């Protein structure tokens, strides 16, 4: 599986391609430097996001997990740049417990590109499994001008 690690303001970010789709992204330092058209395009879009010139990723993504995880990720992917929702709102839409949605957010295999940082708890930020955790979530929300409680 081709992989590419790109520098971001929130730390090194590794992107994985499988069969012409992005299947994984994670904050991890690596020497991954595969050169494919899709990984170059993904790196360019990630850079544009952090530069403030891109608000919507346009990449082929594949969530290779359970059907429920795919449903959670589809709901997360629909949250617009600069907006937030809650675990409870997604849970209500899916007819599932909020805790299951929280686990689904935590299991998102393609964070940032599928913006799970835009999902908040009903009484606060909630968790974040990417980067340095909640600090990364706060950075991303501030970058997007989302979650007015943080600014």
Residue of 5, 73, 105, 116 with catalytic role:
116
Q: What angle separates helix 67-77 from helix 98-106, to the nearest 10 degrees?
A: 80
Using alpha carbons, list the distances in angstroms from residue 89 to 54, 119, 122, 148. Answer: 26, 9, 9, 18
116 is catalytic: yes
What is the Cα–Cα distance from 69 to 63, expressed in whole angstroms? 8
Give the largest CA-CA distance in the chain: 43
Active site residues: 116
């Amino acid at each position: 599986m081709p992989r590419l690690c790109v520098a971001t303001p929130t730390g090194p970010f590794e992107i994985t391609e499988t069969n012409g789709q992005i299947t994984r992204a994670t904050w991890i330092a690596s020497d991954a430097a595969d050169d494919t058209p899709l990984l170059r395009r993904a790196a360019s879009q990630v850079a544009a996001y952090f530069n403030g010139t891109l608000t919507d990723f346009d990449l082929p993504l594949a969530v290779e997990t359970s059907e429920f995880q795919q449903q959670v990720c589809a709901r997360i992917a629909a949250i617009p740049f600069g907006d937030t929702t809650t675990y409870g709102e997604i849970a209500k839409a899916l007819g599932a417990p909020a805790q299951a949605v929280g686990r689904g957010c935590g299991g998102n295999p393609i964070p940032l590109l599928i913006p799970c940082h835009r999902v908040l708890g009903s009484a606060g930020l909630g968790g974040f499994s990417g980067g340095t955790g909640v600090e990364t979530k706060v950075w991303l929300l501030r970058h997007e001008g989302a979650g007015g409680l943080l600014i």
